[in-house]
Amino acid sequence: MNIFVNERPVTVEADATVALVATLCKPDADIFLCNGAPVPTTTRLQEGDRLVLIRRGEIPTPEELDVLMAARHTPGVHARLKRATVGIAGCGGLGSTVAVALARVGIGTLILADFDVVEPSNLNRQQFFVDQIGQRKVEALAATLARINPAVRVVPHAVRVVPDNVAALFGPVDVLVEAFDRADQKAMLFETVQREFPDKPLVMGLGMAGWGRNDLLGVRRSGSLSICGDDLAEAGPHAGLMAPRVGVVAHLQANQVMEILLGPDPHIARLEQARR
Amino acid sequence: MLKVNGQQIAYHDGMTVTDVIRAMKFNFPLLIVKVDGVYVPRDEYSNRQVPDGSEVEIIHLISGG
């Protein structure tokens, strides 16, 4: 039968166990994952299974890394995400966190735009480090993303996003993430997208000040527009922006990008159906 | 009747987007308005009439990110 070992096609005898294939392909492996989950070495493999064999602590080659990093992905997802391009407008609390999540899952290309530099008040919620203070955010973030997943192509634009450059910056993206801090910037991006490419999926973040109240955070959709947040808690005096709540909304946005690119998760749909 | 953000409100003849925004007591300066799924630009609020029975979505844009 034919299976995949570290994403390479391999022919093995029918009913071969994980242990047998490991002996043949990677005898020093001590981590065994099949179809996205850890398995015992006694597991009998089936046609088409995707087995990943890892030696704990071993630094893989860049090509191997790309495969091994996706060993906990649902099978098939990584290849589809690799073909996608996502734009992120603004690289602050939302944008930097969305970028980190999407780099970890291996989005093919991330286009980043932000004119600003890293300063200390960013560090309570944004994915930057003390030694990056003073650096342009897009450059600091590109450096961090390269450390997380070198297979992701990152295109940093150290520019202010204005109506005149939205089409040039984000024309090629499959999904655009709105990740600005100010409401007027959010409005500018929405209105420009409506004018330039009204059908392009746009994922906005609205309402994330304060802490707690996880129950109010969610996603609502209206055509090609998705809105993540509580739609309520505006940032301002006595309403701060802090890592946990901003981070939840950023991850709602990143998760929404996944759903737009991949469609609804069929496994979750089956589980939901079975519970009814 | 109109349905605005899932809530029923009374309709009157010639009702415009501006009237709907007032009826909903929205005072946010930055809104996204869709009538039956179609986006209405800001400069058309005062003369765009909303047909009876429409579904209106009003999203208020607030700072934070």
Domains along the sequence of chain A with CATH: 2-58 (3.10.20.30), 78-262 (3.40.50.720)
Nearest to A97 by CA among A261, A262, A263, A257: A257
Give residue A212's pLDDT band: very low, low, confident or very high (50, 70, 90): very high
Query: What average pLDDT does range A48-55 have in this prediction?
Result: 97
Q: Judge contact between A264 and A77, C-beta under 8 A.
A: no
pLDDT, one tens digit per residue, over A64-98 is 999 999 999 999 999 999 999 999 999 999 999 99
Cβ-based contacts of A235 with chain B (< 8 Å): 62-65
Cβ-based contacts of A223 with chain B (< 8 Å): 34, 37
Q: Would B65 be classed as within a structural domain?
A: no
Q: Judge contact between A234 and A181, C-beta under 8 A.
A: no
Quote the number of domains for chain B.
1
**Do B32 and A190 make contact, defined as CB atoms within 8 angstroms?**
yes
Q: Would B41 be classed as within a structural domain?
A: yes
Q: Judge contact between A237 and A210, C-beta under 8 A.
A: no
Q: Would B34 be classed as within a structural domain?
A: yes
DSSP three-state, residue A129: coil
Mutate to test the interface with B, among A186, A221, A224 (most CBs of B within 10 A): A186
**C-alpha distance from B43 to closest chain A C-alpha (Å):** 12
> According to the model, what pLDDT value does residue A33 have?
97
Give me the CATH number covering residue B11: 3.10.20.30
DSSP output for A183-235: HHHHHHHHHHHHHH-TTS-EEEE----SS--GGG-EEEEETTEEEEE-S----
Kindly report the pTM of this predicted structure. Answer: 0.95
CA–CA separation, A259 and A267 (whole Å): 13
Nearest to A197 by CA among A87, A92, A101: A87
Q: Would B6 be classed as within a structural domain?
A: yes
Q: ipTM of the assembly?
A: 0.91
**Do A183 and B30 make contact, defined as CB atoms within 8 angstroms?**
yes
Cβ-based contacts of B43 with chain A (< 8 Å): none
pLDDT, one tens digit per residue, over B15-65 is 999 999 999 988 777 999 999 999 999 999 999 999 999 999 999 999 999
Say whether residue B32 is in contact with chain A using an 8 A CB cutoff: yes
Q: Would B14 be classed as within a structural domain?
A: yes
Cβ-based contacts of B59 with chain A (< 8 Å): 206, 222, 227, 231
* Cα–Cα distance list, A131 to A96, A118, A140 (Å): 16, 10, 10
> According to the model, what pLDDT value does residue A183 have?
96
Q: Would B48 be classed as within a structural domain?
A: yes
Query: What average pLDDT does range A149-172 have in this prediction?
Result: 98
Cβ-based contacts of A190 with chain B (< 8 Å): 32, 61
Range of the domain at B36: 2-60
CB proximity list for B44: less than 8 A, separation 6 or greater: B17
Sheet containing strand A31-34, edge to edge, reads A8-11, A2-5, A50-54, A31-34, A37-38
Beta strands at A202-205 and A225-229: parallel, antiparallel or unpaired: parallel
Mutate to test the interface with B, among A216, A222, A242, A249 (most CBs of B within 10 A): A222
pLDDT, one tens digit per residue, over A161-203 is 999 999 999 999 999 999 999 999 999 999 999 999 999 999 9
Give residue A45's pLDDT band: very low, low, confident or very high (50, 70, 90): very high
DSSP three-state, residue A91: coil
Q: Would B50 be classed as within a structural domain?
A: yes
Say whether residue A246 is in contact with chain B using an 8 A CB cutoff: yes
> According to the model, what pLDDT value does residue B27 have?
76
* Cα–Cα distance list, A219 to A205, A242, A252 (Å): 9, 20, 7
**Do B61 and A186 make contact, defined as CB atoms within 8 angstroms?**
yes
**Do A179 and B42 make contact, defined as CB atoms within 8 angstroms?**
no
DSSP output for B1-62: -EEETTEEE---TT-BHHHHHHHTT---S-EEEEETTEEE-GGGTTT-B--TT-EEEEEE--
Q: Mean pLDDT of all residues in chain A? A: 97
Percent of chain A's residues with pLDDT above 90: 99
Q: Judge contact between A54 and A31, C-beta under 8 A.
A: yes
Sheet containing strand B55-60, edge to edge, reads B7-9, B2-4, B55-60, B31-35, B38-40
pLDDT, one tens digit per residue, over A213-263 is 999 999 999 999 999 999 999 999 999 999 999 999 999 999 999 999 999
**C-alpha distance from A126 to closest chain B C-alpha (Å):** 10
**Do B59 and A227 make contact, defined as CB atoms within 8 angstroms?**
yes
CB proximity list for A87: less than 8 A, separation 6 or greater: A110, A111, A113, A169, A170, A173, A175, A176, A177
Cβ-based contacts of B57 with chain A (< 8 Å): 222
Q: Would B8 be classed as within a structural domain?
A: yes
